[in-house]
Amino acid sequence: MKFKNSIILALDVEDKKNAYNIIDNIIDYLDCIKIGYPLTLAEGPDIIKSIKEDYDVNIIADFKVADIDATNEKIVSTTLNWGADAIIVHGFTGEDSVLACKNAAEKLDKEIFLLTEMSHPGADKFLKPVSLDIAQMGVELGITNYVAPATKLDRLKKIREIVGKDASIISPGVGFQGGNAKDTLKYADGAIVGRSIYNAANPKESLEEIIASIKD
């Protein structure tokens, strides 16, 4: 997946009115929104379709799919049929589970993002030791989209080296978690920003400051 704008909004709010108010203020800067469990569980999966239709943006469903292959196939197919353009899936579940996700998405002419390593400190214990192997598995399976942490630039750089320059990487952790958008975009195609925007008193101003920092 390719992005016209390098900032991806992680819209982890819990009601439609708030979500729409935020999007209304910053839609001119967005071509991709990441929607996870908080908003989807609060409003139902139709919220994905609503935002897609009302704003004509790419939507990545951040459901971090992590089950057996048969269950993964159902989760991916159902989610993408609600209007998401892509869905994030865990890689630690192994080749068969990941392939089920990839195949289900391709049947709908949509995409998956393979999660290699997460941005929070706790991921260091269990995900970090296998994240490079997950990235390599993704390459071998023909996956072209990845998630890698903005908060750990050394890891992000290594994952970029493995997946290659033509793959797309999106990176969570910019802003509130300490990741820097400008540094992240040296290796990633999209910097994911959530709380620093949607919790800000002025989301548009906050986003504009992040965009300005990239250009400095």
Confidence band of 1 (pLDDT split at 50, 70, 90): confident
Q: What is the pLDDT of residue 216?
A: 74
Mean pLDDT of all residues in 26-42? 96
CA distance linking residue 208 with residue 8, whole number of Å:
13
Residue 176 — very low, low, confident or very high, per pLDDT cuts 50/70/90? confident
What DSSP designation does 85 have? S
What are the E-state strand segments in the chain? 7-10, 32-36, 58-65, 86-90, 111-115, 145-147, 168-174, 190-193
Residues 6+ apart with CB under 8 A from 112: 76, 86, 87, 88, 89, 98, 101, 102, 105, 143, 145
How many alpha carbons lie under 13 Å from residue 31 in its C-beta half-sphere? 8
Spot the catalytic one: 49, 64, 128, 182.
64
Ranges of each domain in the chain:
7-215
Residue 208 confidence (pLDDT) above 80? yes
Note if 152 is an active site residue.
Answer: no
For residue 40, pLDDT beyond 80: yes
The whole-number average pLDDT for the span 37-44 is 97
Confidence of residue 2 (pLDDT cuts 50, 70, 90): confident
pLDDT at 68 over 90: yes
Yes or no: say if 48 and 35 are a contact pair by the CB < 8 Å rule. yes
What CATH code is assigned to 7-215? 3.20.20.70
- In this prediction, residues 19-40 reach a mean pLDDT of 96
Q: Which residues contact 68 (CB under 8 A, 6 or more apart)?
A: 93, 96, 97
